Structure 1
C-alpha cells in the first residue's frame, strides 16, 4: 500500500487512537550444514536466498531432537522453521514419516500446497481429514510420508485405528503442531491428551517423535507448549524477519442521531459495528485497496459481504463481484476457490470469520479491518498481521462493537499496545476431560501404571479408580481395559452434547445446527431463528431427538429467552482474606433453566408479552472465582440497600465482559451470578464461573489477576458516558434477566470497595477456608 489515499480517513472523529509501528529490517543467516541440498535448492528456487535467524535456530534444535516451539509474529516464516528439518529428515531417511496437525482444514490444505510446490521426490504429502475421499485414505495410510491433518481426525480416526497406522507410527520422526496458541480452554485440554495418546501409541510401535510447535507470539510459550505436548519444550521467540510499517487505528462507531429532539446524547446507541465495517470495506475497495475484514460471527460475515457488494454495485456496477464472504460451513470446493481468487487478486475484499486468522498464506493484502475485539491480543495481532505486501506499509483498524471490553480498549490503548500477549489457558487435569480421554486411551490399548504417569500422575490414578467403580474400565494384571464394545464418544470441542438440527417443517430441509448448550435459549418453541438472512420461527424443539422444527416467517418481533440460575459452593481451593472483602476460587454447582421468553417489537424494543416455557434444568459442576463484600463496607461506599442487587448485577456483567482482557477466553465461555445475600457465603457476592464442565482455566486466571481484572472493569464502567447503563458498560447480550435490575453508579462503588481492600496479587490461603 503505497498511497495514503487508499486508507480510511484517519482524521475521522471515530478514530480514538493511532499507533504507528515502524518498519523493522530482517536478519538472515547461512543455510545450516545439515540441511538437505535439494530442500535448500527448492527454497532458493522459490525466492528464499537465505533464511531468517529464528528459522535456523528453531530448525537446528528440532534437527538435533530437541522439542521446540517457534513463537514469532504473523508472516515471520514459521513454516520454513519446521519444513526444513522435517523435509531434510524425510529425504535423508527414506523410511521416516512426519505428522502435521492444524486446528483448521484450510491451514492443512495451505501447507499441502506449499510442501507439494517444492517438488521434492518421495515425500508424498497428503491431507487426511473429513474431506478426504474414502478411496484415498488407504493410499495415504500405506504410502504418504508426510500426513497433514487436524486433532479431531487424529482423535476420531487415526488413533482408534492405530493398527492400520502401525508402520507410519513406528517411523514417526516429527510431529508438527501449527498455530498451537489456538488450543486453549476445554479444546486445548482435550488436545493435550490426544497428543499424549499419540506419544503412547507411537512408543508402542517403537516410534519416538520430536515435537515442533509453531505459535503466534504468546505469553510463556515454552510452558504452554510443554503443557500441551507433555514434553519439555524450548522456545524460540526472537523474531528476525523484516516487517513493513504498520498503522493501527482504533475506531469507535459514532452515536446514532437522536430519535426525538429531547433525547439526551447519553441515552443514544452507537452505529452498528457491522455496518461501520461494511462502509470502511466499501471505501477501501473503491480506491483499490485489497482488504480483509474479520467478523466474529458467520452471520455477520455474510451481512458485511452482502452490504458491501450492494454499496459497491451502486458506486461502480459490477465491482461488487470482487467481494466475497468466507466462513466455516462452506463446501471444501467453495473454500478453495475463494482462497484461489484472493491469492490471484480476482477478489479485492473478503469478509471472513476467524477461519482465515490462522496461518493460511495470504499475500498482497493492504489493509485489515477487525470488526470487534477478537477476544485476545494474540488473535488481534494475528489478524492485523495479515496486512502488508513484502515490506510495504500496511493498515489495521479495530472497529469497536457496543460492548464493555471493546469500549474500554478503544479508550485505553495501553491495554493493547506495548504489552505482552496473554498466556494460553488450558488444564489437562480437568476431570471432565481427563476421565473421557483415559477411556479413549484404554479403548486403543490397555492402560498400564506407566501410562498413568504420562497422563498426569495422581489425577490420572484417581480418575481411573473412579472409572473402575463406574464400570467403564476393568482392572486386570496387565492393565485397565475398556469394558464396552464401541468406542467412547468424546467431543474435543467440549460443546456439551450432539448439536441440534434445525429442520424446515414443510420441506424437511436441514438448515443448519446449533450447539446443544445454546439450544434451549436459541431454539425454544416460539423462538425467531435467523438463517442466511431469512427468518424462521420454531414450531417445536425435540430434545430427545436433537431436532428443532421451524417454518419461514417474517414477524415484526424478536424473541429473548429468560432464565434462572442457582449456584451452590462445593469446595474452596484457595482464598484471600482482605478484611471486609473475600476473594475465592473453588468448585461450584450451577443449575440453569430457561423458563420463559419475551417477544419484543423490532425497532422500538417494546415488550409485547412474556410467554412461559417448559424446559428441563441443566446442571454444571465447574470452577468459579467469586468475591464477597461486607454490608458495612458497602454502606460506607455509599451503596444503599435497595440499590445493592442492581449494583452487584451490573458489576457482574462488566466483570464478565472484561475477563477476556486477562484470560484467553470469550465472554460466552463464562457465566455469572450475583446476589445480595448468598446462602453459602452469607454475604453480598459476585460469582464468575467457567461455562464448561470441570472448568476451562479461565476462573483460575481471573483469581490470579483479580486486582488487574477488577480495576479494568471499574474503569470501563466509570468511563462510559451513559447515565444508567448501556451495552458499552453494564448491559449484557446474554443476560437471562433482561438486564434488570442494573445500577451503574452502585457497580462503581462496589468495585471501589473491593479494590480498596484487595491486595495487588492474591496470596493463596489454605484450602480449608470457609466459604464466606
Structure 2
C-alpha cells in the first residue's frame, strides 16, 4: 500500500470537507525513487563499518560515498541533496575515520538550532564508539559539562551563537582542540541567509583564522537542502573553495502533493468589507485532526509561534469531541520554549507518544523524525527550498506519504496554489548572503581583532572593504592602529554586543508577574508589535495579556487571561533616501519612470493597537506610547510622473495613494518568489509625492540594518517580479481587494487606502515603461 498511502490519506481528509466545497486547486503524484548503493571506501575503518551495520546501514548510497571521498581527500565539499537523503553519514564517515586513525584529532560540528545539534549527537552516540568523546557545547550545556568538553572533547557539537560568544573569544583555553582540528561540519547551511548568513560567513572566516594560528587548516564539510548553485553559495559562506555533490541517490517513497485553498466565508467580511477566506490555521487544524484520527503521524508547519499554538489548540478541541486520549496526542512545538519543555516534546515525538505536532520551522531542521505519514504546510514558508525541506519530512523509510500545502489569505500563497509550476517545477533558489554589508562586517572585524590583532596580510578573506571599514573603526575609537596592525584595547570582550541573528539585541524575556515564571522570549525587533502593553500573548495553549514592556530591562510582564479578542498593532512608517546607488530613467510617451536601488532610513513607531473579535469586528483602538525606531537599510524603488498616472493609468488624483499602496502591498507579498526571503524580512512605503524624489514613489526595503540582499534581488528581477505581482492582483476573484491580493497583515495603516484596480493600472504603466530602453 506504500505508493497508495498518500492518496488514501487525501481521500480521508477530503471526506471531512463540507458538501459543495472543493478546496483542491492541484494534485501531483511524485513517483518513488530506487536507491543507488556504493561500496564502503577502502579507507573506512572496519570497526566503523561494523558500527553502521549495527544501526542497519550495510552500505552507503552513492552520493554519501562521493561526498565522503572528497572530504577524506582534503577537498572542501558541500552535499546538497533532499531531506532524508543521509547527509549525516556523508560527513560522519570521513570525520569518524580521522578521529579513529589519529587519537589526537578533533572536529567541530555547527548547526543552526540546538535541537538539530542534540539530535545529531544522539545519532552519533548510537554508533557506540566511545573513543570519539563527542559532546555538546551550547546554551543548554551545564557549566561542569562545558569544562569537560573544553578539556577532553574531540568532536564538539555547537552552534554559531556559542562559537561566536563562547569559543572564539576564549580560544586560548581551546588551544589543544584547535591545534588538532581536522574537520568543520556546517549542517543545514542553506539556512544561513540574509543578515544571519552574512554574520555566519564572517564567523567562519574568524574560525579559520584562529585555527591557522594554532597550525591547523581544517577541511569544511557543508550539508544543505537542494539549492541553486550550491558550490558558489557554500564557497561564499565558508570562505574556501567547495566542490558540490548534488545527485541524490537515496530511496524516496511516492508522494501525493495537494495544493489547497480555503474557501471564502459567505457570512463574514474583513477590513473595508473585503471577502475573507477560512484561515490557513483553522483549515490546518481540521486537516491535522482528521489525519490523527486516521492514525497518521503528522507534522503541521505553521508560520508563526502564535499560529502553531492556535493550530494545536484547535486540533485538540476537535479531537476531544471524538476521543480525549487522541486530544492528548497533539502538541505545539516552537522556538522560544524553555530547554526542558523543548526536550520533553522532542522525546514524545521520538517515541511516537505524539501523533500530531503543530510546529514553526523549528522542526524543519530540528529533530530527525522517522516514519511520518503526512506533512501539512500552512502558508508558504518563504522559499522553495524550505517548502521541499518541510515536505521531505514525510515519507521516510520509503513509504508513501501526503503533503498538503494550505494557502494563507495572502497574495503569494494565492498565486502559488493557482500556478502549481511555481511550486513544483520552479528551480530552487540560491541563498543570499552579503558578508560585505558594513553593518555586519564592522562588528565582526572588531570581534576578530579582540581574538587576534588584525594585520594587513589577514584581511583578504574579509573582503575588499575591510581596510576602509577598519579605518572608520579607528576613527570611532573602537580599535587602535599600530604599525603592526589593528588592536582591540578594552578589557571587556565585544562579542556580547554583536547579535549574529540580526534581531537587533538581546531577547526580551516574557515573565508571568504573579509567579515570576519565565514563559519564553521574543526578539527585540518584534517586541513593540508582539508584547506591547495590552497585547494578547499565547504560550503552550494558554493565553496571557501583557501588563508592561520594559525595553531597557528586556522584560515583558504578563498575567494569565483569556479575553474574547485578539490584538493588532498600528504603526506609523516614514522613509528617506540617503544614497542612490543606481538609477535608470525610462522615457515613455506622456512621462517618465525611474527605477533606483540605494540606501534609505526607515523610521517606524507603534502608536496604537486594535482589539478585534474572532469575527473580525474591531472593538476599539488603544493608543500606545512607545519609542521610535530608525532602520538604515537598502531599498529598491520606482517613481512615476503625475502625467503618467493621470494620463496612461487614468487615475483620478484622489485615487493615486490607494493605487500605489495596493501595488506596494502586493509587491511585498510576491518578492519572496524572486529573493530568498520571507515577507516579514522586508517592508515598504508608498506615497503620492515623496519629498526626496518629488514624485509618486513605491519603496520596497530590507528589514535588516544595512540590508540583507533582498532589495538587490528585487531590483535585478524587477520585470518578472512586477509581472507576477500584476497577475496575482488581476487573477484574484474579489471585487475591490482582499488579503489574497492587496491587503497586508502587517500594514500599519489598517489597509487604508487601497485601490485594487488602480494597482493593476499602476503596474501595467510601470511594466510598459520598463520595456523601453533606459536613457
Please classify the TM superposition score into its range, dividing by the shorter chain length. over 0.9
In the alignment, which of 502, 508, 527 is matched to residue 519 of structure 1?
A: 527
Over residues 644-684 of structure 1, what are the superposed CA-to-partner deviations in whole Å (9 max), with x where a residue is unaligned?
A: 11000001011111111111111111111101111222221
Matched, 1:659 2:662: no
Partner of 1:339: 346
* 1:6 corresponds to: 9
How far is the alpha carbon of 1:314 from its aligned partner? 1.9
Cross-structure match for 1:721: 733
Q: What is the match of residue 429 of structure 1? A: 436
Cα 1:131–1:30 change in 2 (3 A) is: same
CA contact (8 A) 1:10 1:249 kept: no
- Corresponding residue number in structure 1 for 2:714: 702
Does structure 1 residue 289 correspond to structure 2 residue 296? yes
Q: How many residues align?
A: 759
The answer for the alignment partner of 1:211 in structure 2 is: 220
- The reply to whether residue 474 of structure 1 matches residue 480 of structure 2 is yes
- 1:271 maps to 2:278: yes
User: Is residue 496 from structure 1 mapped to residue 504 from structure 2 by the alignment?
Assistant: yes
Which residue of 2 is the match for residue 357 of structure 1?
364
Counterpart among 699, 703, 711 of residue 691 in structure 1: 703
Identify which of 626, 632, 637 aligns with 1:626: 637
Q: Does 1:22 align with 2:31?
A: yes
Displacement of 1:460:
0.8
Can you list the C-alpha shifts for 1:395-447, whole angstroms capped at 9, x where unaligned?
Answer: 10011111111111111111111121111111111111101111111111111
Q: Closer, same or farther in 2 for the Cα pair 1:121/1:537, shift >3 Å?
A: closer
Give the whole-Å Cα distance in 2 for the aligned partners of 1:384 and 1:538. Answer: 36
Question: Would the alpha carbon gap of residues 294 and 648 (structure 1) be closer, same or farther in structure 2, given more than 3 Å must change?
Answer: same
Shift of 1:299: 2.3
- The CA RMSD over aligned residues, in Å, is 2.3
Partner of 1:562: 570
Contact 1:6–1:288 under 8 Å retained in 2: no
Counterpart of 2:210 in structure 1 is 201
Structure 1 window deviating more from structure 2 (66-75 vs 291-300): it is 291-300
Q: Would you say the 8 A contact 1:69–1:214 is kept in 2?
A: yes
Structure 2 alignment gaps of length 5 or more: none
Q: CA deviation at 1:284?
A: 1.0
Shift in alpha-carbon separation, 1:384–1:605, aligned structure 2, 3 A: closer
The CA deviation at 1:550 is 4.2
Structure 1 CA distance, aligned partners of 2:447 and 2:701?
Answer: 28
Deviation track 1:242-275 (CA, whole Å, cap 9, x = no partner) reads: 2111111011112224259xx9x99431112111
Contact 1:559 1:597 in 2 (8 A): no
The separation in 2 between residues aligned to 1:209 and 1:734, in whole angstroms, is: 45
Instruction: For residue 177 of structure 2, give the secondary structure of its aligned residue in structure 1.
Output: helix
Deviation at 1:392, TM superposition (A): 1.8
The answer on whether the counterparts of 2:312 and 2:358 sit within 8 Å (CA) in structure 1 is yes
Query: Distance in 2 between the 1:677 and 1:367 partners?
Result: 50
Q: Who is 1:602 aligned against?
A: 613
Contact kept, 8 Å, 1:471 with 1:483, in 2: the verdict is no
TM-score by length of 2: 0.94
Partner of 1:768: none
* Partner residue in 2 for 1:644: 656
Larger deviation, residues 666-675 vs 538-547:
538-547
Matched, 1:73 2:82: yes
Deviations 1:610-666 (A, max 9, x none): 454433322121100111122222221222221111000001011111111111111
Shift of 1:531: 4.3
Dislocated runs of 4+, deviation >6 Å: none
Does the CA contact (< 8 Å) of 2:317 and 2:327 recur in 1?
Answer: yes
Deviations 1:353-375 (A, max 9, x none): 21111163211111111111111
Conserved 8 A contact 1:598-1:608: no
Q: CA deviation at 1:522?
A: 3.4
CA–CA separation in structure 2 for the residues paired with 1:313 and 1:510: 29
Q: Cα distance 1:549–1:34, how it changes in 2: closer, same or farther (>3 A)? A: closer
Q: Please list, as runs of the form range in 1=range in 2, the aligned pairs for 1:70-469 lying within 5 A after superposition.
A: 70-259=79-268, 267-358=274-365, 360-456=367-463, 458-469=464-475
Match of 2:688 in 1: 676
Q: Does 1:756 align with 2:764?
A: no
Sort the Cα spacing of 1:617 and 1:312 in 2 relative to 1 into closer, same or farther, 3 A. Answer: closer
CA distance in 2, matches of 1:87, 1:332: 29
Task: Say whether the 8 Å CA contact 2:338–2:520 is kept in structure 1.
Answer: no
1:435–1:464 Cα contact (<8 Å) kept: yes
Name the CA distance, whole Å, in 2 between partners of 1:370 and 1:470.
Answer: 48
Query: For structure 1, which segment, 33-42 or 459-468, has the greater mean C-alpha deviation from structure 2 after superposition?
Result: 33-42
d(CA) in 2 for partners of 1:555, 1:308: 20
Deviation at 1:281, TM superposition (A): 1.1
Cα distance, 1:34 vs. partner?
A: 1.9
Q: Deviations over 1:339-397 (max 9, x none)?
A: 33333333222222211111632111111111111111101000100111422211100
Unaligned runs of 5+ in 1: 766-772
The 10-residue stretch of structure 1 (690-699 or 17-26) with the greater mean CA deviation from structure 2: 17-26
Report if the CA contact (8 A) 1:557-1:599 is conserved: no
1:492-534 CA-to-partner distances (Å, cap 9, x unmatched) read 1111123333444555444443322222333444444444455
Q: TM-score, normalised by structure 1?
A: 0.94
Structure-1 separation of matches of 2:571 and 2:342: 38
Which stretch of structure 1 is more off in the superposition, 740-749 or 361-370? 361-370
CA contact (8 A) 1:266 1:721 kept: no
CA contact (8 A) 1:218 1:424 kept: yes
* CA displacement at 1:70 relative to structure 2: 0.3
Equivalent position SS for 1:748 = helix
The alpha carbon displacement at 1:562 in A equals: 2.7
